[in-house]
Amino acid sequence: MLEIESLTTRYGSISALREVSMTVGSGEVIGLIGPNGAGKTTLLGSVAGLLKPASGVVRFEGDDETGSSPDQMLRRGVALVPEHRRIFTDMSVVENLKIGGVTIPAAERTGMMDEMVELFPVLKDKWTTSAGYLSGGEAQQLAIARALMSKPRLLMMDEPSLGLAPILIDVVFDLIVKLKEQGMTLLVVEQNATRMLGVSDRAYVLRSGALVAEGTGTDLLARDDLFDTFVGN
């Protein structure tokens, strides 16, 4: 579904991502792990169109999408739940969902919002509440629901468990499993490597902008040296 070939992305003269290649197959859950500054968020930003790669290719369902804008990528079926959720705090929960569905026909938007309420029942009680008043867990669920409103085929999530209480982290990982069961393809950046590898089909490990390991969750979990050295978990 997603193929990344020799992707390099720079901030000025600094290469945040160096010659990274990876693939995400349809229906797979792929973990992307590594320490702070490894280039994980840069990779997601480069795929989502927020950052222009200096070189390399991003291919989605066979089409070259390198350098496409975020709205083009979303219309192609790639959605990103950004780091720190970045919900629109001045807007209500329902308005956040509506804006998440800006790319789908108006007639489908209401149905999608109903689906989101089923998937995230907590949002129903907060429907007209300003999103700025949501708790961390509620905000994360809103951020994911908002991204799902566009009916993506590939959902990318950047640190979905960041800053959440342990019980809410369970909710996030349960949701990843649930989405996987529904056939969603997921590419998830996660600092909580152990938990992520537990739900991933495969994972990639990044360090200093370069890919240093890849494999199934079980394989990588077995490599203590990898965790001690690169993840510190």
Partner 1 sequence: MNQLIQNLVDGLGRGSIYALLALGIAVIFGVMHLVNFAHGELITVSGYLAYWMFISGVTWYLIAPAVVICAVIVSVIIEQVAFRWVRGAADFTLLLTSFGVHFVVEALFLMYVSASVKSFNRPGWIANTFSVGSVSVEIFDMVVILVTLLVLGLTALILQRTMFGLALRAAAEDFDTARLMGVKSDRVIRGAFMLSGLLAGIAGVFWLMRAGATSPGAGTTPMLKGVLAALIGGLGSLKGAVIGGFALGLAEVLLRSNLPGSVASLTDGVVFALIAVLFIFRPQGLITVSHAERV
Q: Which residue has the tokens 């083009």?
A: 72
162 binds partner 1 (CB under 8 A): no
Verify binding: residue 40, partner 1, rule CB under 8 A: no
The correct pick among 70, 77, 198, 215 for binding partner 1 (CB under 8 A) is 70
The Cβ-side half-sphere exposure at 101, using a 13 Å CA radius, reads 22
Q: What sign results for the dihedral spanned by CA atoms 48, 172, 27, 24?
A: positive
| Listed residue (16, 7, 92) closest to 55, CA to CA | 7
- Residue closer to partner 1, measured from CB, 148 or 231: 148
Does 89 help bind partner 1 (rule: CB under 8 A)?
Answer: yes
Q: Does 150 bind partner 1 (CB under 8 A)?
A: yes
Structure tokens at 144: 């994911």
Q: Does 48 participate in binding partner 1 (rule CB under 8 A)? A: yes
With a CB cutoff of 8 Å and minimum separation 6, the contacts of 220 are 197, 203, 205, 213, 226
The SS3 call for residue 147 is helix
Give the binding range for partner 1 (CB under 8 A) out of 11-19, 47-55, 184-192, 199-207: 47-55
Residue 116: CB atoms within 10 A of its CB come to 24
* From 10-18, 22-30, 34-42, 65-73, span contacting partner 1 (CB under 8 A): 65-73
**9 near partner 1, judged by CB under 8 A:** no
In the set 36, 90, 105, 167, which binds partner 1 (CB under 8 A)? Answer: 90
Summarize as ranges the residues that interact with partner 1 (CB under 8 A): 48-50, 69-71, 74-75, 79-80, 82, 86, 88-91, 95, 98-100, 102-103, 106, 146, 150
